[in-house]
Chain A
Amino acid sequence: QSALTQPPSASGSPGQSVTISCTGTSGDVGAYNYVSWYQQHPGKAPKLMIYEVTKRPSGVPDRFSGSKSGNTASLTVSGLQAEDEADYYCSSYADSKNWVFGTGTKVTVL
């Protein structure tokens, strides 16, 4: 199975919004509502930000939201803050009964 496709980079000014796409296939993103998003700061372990496409774990700001249409999932960060600058990875459950990660997107706060 191939990695899910994400744009290498995205950016926005403080207070603006940024949306990251995650494109898979009908065998992963398109087949299941088990899409998750992870935030990773340099030298740190990934942190779960969104699960089941749209749900936020306790403690994650509501500035983070997720959606899905067909084979593409998206993560939107509204009201960008300096601490949102990080790498973001999507992940999906797949037909092969395992998981696949995205290629990763570096978000820069200008």
Chain B
Amino acid sequence: QITLKESGPTLVKPTETLRVTCTFSGFSLSTSGVGVGWIRQPPGKALEWLALIYWDDDKRYSPSLKSRLIITKDTSKNQVVLTMTNMDPVDTGTYYCAHLGGGLSLDYWGQGTLVTVSS
């Protein structure tokens, strides 16, 4: 049974750096083909793909946010961490992590964590 859960601060100030953690179970990020991605959703708006990390440490980033994002994994802890620098109020939203499944789909999602950017 695959589960994922996001954790991190609920409030960050503008210009600060956000660090959100995805803790998962039911699979290993050391297994060939496995990946974990991050997606966000501003309140009332659409989903936006942010980043993904593969089992072999291959990393993919949204072209529009690439300069602000870093994704890392800790295989021993079953965790993936997304760091986003220079936070702005427009970055307010729910941040989800998800398991990369068949056909490059996201087949299991965490419940999401709401991050508000405000001074």
* A-to-B contact residues, CB < 8 Å: 1, 3, 33-34, 36, 38, 40, 45-48, 51-52, 55, 57, 89, 91, 93, 96-104
Question: Is B62 within 8 A of A52, CB to CB?
Answer: no
Q: Kindly provide the distance from the CB of B54 to the nearest chain A CB, expressed in whole angstroms.
A: 11
Query: A34-B104, A45-B111 given as contacts; is B47 within 8 A of A104 (CB)?
Result: yes
Other A-B contacts than A34-B103, A48-B106, A55-B103, 4 sampled, CB-CB below 8 A, are A45-B112, A98-B60, A99-B104, A104-B47
Name the CB-closest residue of A to B58. Answer: A97
A68–B109 alpha-carbon span in the complex (Å):
25
CB-based closest 9 A-B pairs: A52-B103, A51-B105, A36-B105, A51-B103, A45-B109, A99-B49, A34-B104, A104-B46, A101-B47
Tell me, yes or no, whether B8 is within 8 Å of chain A by CB: no
A72–B101 alpha-carbon span in the complex (Å):
22
**Residue among B62, B101, B106, B111 having the largest count of chain A Cβ atoms under 10 Å:** B106
Query: A45-B109, A98-B62, A98-B63 given as contacts; is B103 within 8 A of A3 (CB)?
Result: no
A61–B69 alpha-carbon span in the complex (Å):
37
Name the CB-closest residue of B to A54. Answer: B103
* B-to-A contact residues, CB < 8 Å: 37, 39, 46-49, 52, 60-64, 96, 101-107, 109-112
A100–B35 alpha-carbon span in the complex (Å):
16
A96–B61 alpha-carbon span in the complex (Å):
9
Residues of B within 8 A of A3 (CB): 46, 48
Question: Is A99 within 8 A of B37, CB to CB?
Answer: yes
Question: Is A100 within 8 A of B49, CB to CB?
Answer: yes
**Residue among B103, B104, B111 having the largest count of chain A Cβ atoms under 10 Å:** B103
